[in-house]
């Protein structure tokens, strides 16, 4: 028997209401913030990710699904969507539009990771990018939009971690100080950090090994090395976040290890850390990215949230979500073809009136059909038996109270649709 490939999941009907609920909220918020949807291909030229995420990173070196297609072109299933959106921005000349161009996406992402709870090989991200503007209000707005999603869907117990990692002018000075500090502690740090010190010193601050934590805590802080423009940008971003009422904590350890990231970095995390995968979403400013893709220097900022992790949180917190696919009316019938004919006609009228309608099939007894209707959780069951065929009526049963009443067949669809929308 085949099984879904390791690290992938089927999103079964029972889970779909959670997904619909989250995606509806995400799209609603994007509209409120002036973002337009973009969809990019599931795969891109492998070079795009080497250039953007970077050849020396774990994502590109160990986690991409890359292959040569039949004509020998090197292809990568996208491990994230920022690079693809920036590629589209350049390819379609969006720099000629009013800036910033605000784009959002909902897309599968693929990373060859070790699967565990909340970490998959195919997962889905909702994310957004505001490209072409460096004003700190855009940073504050990006953090606010990210934060609003969790608020909108009703997940509690989260906060925003915020930091500034400077820019090309001030970060080299910071990295120098960081490296000098770590050289003094090189015998105390874990093996991975010895490698990071040589290859990607900013990532030293990301280390999760307990023995390294005191060293990280006492390390030089990015915020102490910011140049004046970066300092002013960070202060302004914070003041707008205060104005927007978004709660955040400055986290000096928060960095992004890629050169194109600048200034604002942020994550949405649980207040109480549980397990390893803590971030439910992460974002940052990437003023160097478009240039790394051969565009003119163009600032940008974005955010991405894993939808699976949001759904896990909704379930863990017992958030009730509506199910738009829930059948509302069950039509039960007994009495041979005449009853069935009436039932079929009524089903069509109910569906025309936008009512989710389940038509009973086969020759099961009314009692069995009623049991089925009950299990389905419908609001109303319509019963059509021999008597009802004679009188051209239906028996309408309100499942919650057990009350029933006869109504004229001709009026049934209209009356039921009216009741379902709150009428009497």
Chain contacts with ligand AMP (rule: CB under 6 A): 80, 111, 113, 118-120, 123, 125, 279-282, 304-306, 308-309
- What's the min distance (Å) between Cβ of 46 and ligand AMP? 18
- Closest-CA residue to 360 (of 374, 373, 342): 373
- CB of 27 or CB of 63, closer to ligand AMP: 63
- What's the min distance (Å) between Cβ of 104 and ligand AMP? 14
CA distances from 198 to 116, 201, 204, 245, 281 (A): 30, 7, 10, 40, 28
Cis peptide before 209 (omega within 30 of 0): no
- What's the min distance (Å) between Cβ of 291 and ligand AMP? 20
Dist. CA 286–CA 283, nearest whole Å: 9
Instruction: Determine how many CB atoms are found less than 10 A away from the CB of residue 388.
Output: 22
- CB of 118 or CB of 166, closer to ligand AMP: 118
- CB of 123 or CB of 234, closer to ligand AMP: 123
Going by C-beta distance under 8 Å and a sequence separation of 6 or more, which residues neighbour residue 32? none
Instruction: Determine how many CB atoms are found less than 10 A away from the CB of residue 387.
Output: 13
Contact 170, 225 (CB under 8 A): yes
- What's the min distance (Å) between Cβ of 147 and ligand AMP? 14
- In the sheet with 380-384, reading across from the earlier edge strand, the strands are 357-359, 329-333, 380-384, 393-398, 404-408
- CB of 39 or CB of 352, closer to ligand AMP: 39
- CB of 280 or CB of 383, closer to ligand AMP: 280
- CB of 163 or CB of 328, closer to ligand AMP: 163
- Closest-CA residue to 213 (of 197, 243, 193, 233): 193
- What's the min distance (Å) between Cβ of 13 and ligand AMP? 21
- CB of 100 or CB of 306, closer to ligand AMP: 306
Q: Which residue is nearest to ligand AMP (CB)?
A: 306
- CB of 107 or CB of 164, closer to ligand AMP: 107
Buried (b) or exposed (e) across 34-67, using 16+ Cβ within 10 A? ebeebebeebbebebbbbbbbeebebbeebbebe
- CB of 57 or CB of 379, closer to ligand AMP: 57
Contact 175, 202 (CB under 8 A): yes
Rg of the chain on CA atoms, in Å: 28
- What's the min distance (Å) between Cβ of 70 and ligand AMP? 28
β-strand pairing of 74-77 with 65-68 = antiparallel
């Amino acid at each position: 028997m085949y099984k879904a490939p390791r690290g992938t999941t089927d999103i079964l009907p029972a889970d779909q209401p959670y997904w619909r609920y989250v995606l509806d909220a995400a799209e609603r918020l994007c509209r409120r913030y002036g973002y337009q949807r973009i969809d990019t291909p599931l795969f891109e030229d492998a070079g795009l990710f080497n250039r953007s995420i970077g050849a020396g990173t774990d994502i590109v070196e160990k986690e991409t699904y890359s292959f040569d297609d039949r004509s020998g072109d090197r292809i990568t299933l996208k491990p994230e969507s920022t690079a693809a959106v920036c590629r589209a921005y350049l390819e379609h000349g969006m720099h000629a539009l009013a800036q910033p161009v605000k784009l959002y996406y909902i897309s599968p992402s693929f990373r060859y990771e070790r699967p565990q709870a909340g970490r998959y090989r195919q997962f889905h991200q909702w994310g957004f990018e505001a490209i072409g503007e460096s004003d700190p209000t855009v940073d504050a707005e990006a953090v606010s939009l990210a934060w609003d999603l969790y608020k909108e869907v009703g997940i509690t117990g989260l906060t925003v971690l915020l930091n500034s990692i400077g820019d090309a002018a001030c970060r080299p000075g910071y990295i120098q100080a960081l490296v000098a500090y770590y050289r003094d502690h090189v015998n105390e740090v874990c093996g991975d950090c010895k490698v990071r010190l040589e290859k990607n010193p900013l990532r030293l601050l990301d280390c999760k090994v307990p023995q390294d934590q005191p060293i990280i805590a006492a390390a030089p802080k990015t915020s102490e090395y910011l140049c004046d423009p970066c300092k002013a940008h960070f202060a302004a971003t914070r003041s707008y976040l205060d104005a927007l009422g978004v709660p955040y904590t400055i986290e000096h350890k928060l960095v992004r290890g890629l050169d194109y990231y600048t200034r604002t970095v942020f994550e949405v995390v649980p207040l109480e850390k549980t397990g390893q995968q803590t971030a439910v979403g992460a974002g940052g400013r990437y003023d160097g990215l478009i240039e790394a893709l051969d565009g003119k220097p163009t600032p940008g900022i974005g955010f991405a949230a894993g939808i699976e992790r949001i759904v896990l949180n909704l379930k863990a917190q017992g958030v009730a979500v509506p199910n738009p696919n829930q059948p509302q009316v069950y039509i039960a019938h007994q009495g041979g073809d005449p009853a069935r004919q009436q039932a079929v006609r009524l089903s069509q009228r109910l569906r025309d009136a936008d009512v989710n309608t389940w038509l009973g099939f086969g020759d099961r007894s009314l009692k069995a059909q009623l049991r089925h209707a009950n299990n389905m959780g419908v609001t109303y069951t319509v019963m059509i038996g021999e008597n009802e065929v004679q009188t051209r009526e239906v028996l309408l049963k309100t499942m919650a109270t057990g009350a029933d009443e006869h109504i004229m067949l001709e009026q049934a669809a209209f009356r039921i649709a009216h009741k379902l929308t709150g009428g009497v």
